[in-house]
């Protein structure tokens, strides 16, 4: 299953995550696995301010307050909170996550599993060629708008 979230990288300066107590309150529902080979994504938990600002698969967890997104993490795929009989809702797991203490291990492990803007910082091409391409696209867009 593929989900894409778009967050403006100019606004986002850090990756702060709130772990929710109920899957219905979370942006992501993830299964925590104990084996890195079974994970879709490997995340490095950090409290270091510099790393949090880099935030590429590096999360700082908060209990309350502002966060960039919220997650519900379960260690059991049969978690009773995933099934809300009263509302008739079954919350689907959106991926398997492994937390590491080695930041060199972090990243996507399953090809095609992609959560741009949530787990991975968008890369911007700042080369001269990239700048020219953006200017050309902007000019073309303005010309079409003027027609």
How far is it, in rounded angstroms, from Cα 61 to Cα 77?
Answer: 22
Which of 124, 5, 20 has the alpha carbon at shortest distance from 73? 20
Query: What does the pLDDT read at residue 143?
Result: 66
Are 71 and 61 in contact, with CB atoms under 8 Å apart? no
Amino acid 125: pLDDT: 56
If pLDDT is split at 50, 70 and 90, which confidence band does 5 have? Answer: very low
| Average pLDDT score over residue span 41-57 | 76
pLDDT at 26: 85
Which of 109, 32, 15 has the alpha carbon at shortest distance from 70?
A: 15
pLDDT tier at 66 (50, 70, 90 boundaries)?
low
CA-to-CA distance for 97 and 123, rounded, in angstroms? 22
Q: Which of 5-14, 43-52, 64-73 has the lowest mean pLDDT?
A: 5-14
**Across 46-67, average pLDDT:** 70
Q: What is the pLDDT of residues 85-133, one digit of tens each?
A: 888 999 999 889 999 999 899 888 887 776 644 555 455 556 677 677 7
Mean pLDDT of 25-44: 90
Q: Which residues of 37-73 are buried (b: 16+ CB within 10 A; e: fewer)?
A: eebbbbbbebeeeebbeebebbbbeeeeeebbbebbb
Residue 9 has pLDDT above 50, yes or no: no
Is the CB of residue 98 less than 8 Å from the CB of residue 39?
yes
**Closest by CA position to 65, among listed 3, 14, 121:** 14
């Amino acid at each position: 299953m593929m989900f894409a979230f778009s967050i403006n990288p100019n606004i986002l300066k850090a990756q702060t995550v709130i772990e929710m107590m109920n899957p219905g309150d979370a942006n992501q529902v993830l299964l925590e696995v104990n084996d890195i080979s079974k994970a879709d994504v490997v995340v490095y938990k950090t409290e270091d301010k510099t790393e949090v600002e880099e935030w590429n698969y590096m999360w700082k967890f908060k209990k309350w307050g502002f966060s960039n997104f919220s997650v519900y993490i379960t260690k059991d795929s049969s978690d009773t909170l995933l099934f809300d009989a009263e509302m008739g809702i079954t919350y689907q797991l959106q991926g398997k996550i492994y937390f590491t203490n080695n930041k060199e291990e972090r990243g996507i492990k399953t090809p095609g599993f992609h959560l741009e803007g949530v787990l991975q910082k968008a890369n911007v091409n700042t080369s001269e060629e990239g700048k020219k391409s953006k200017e050309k696209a902007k000019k073309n867009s303005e010309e079409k708008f003027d027609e």
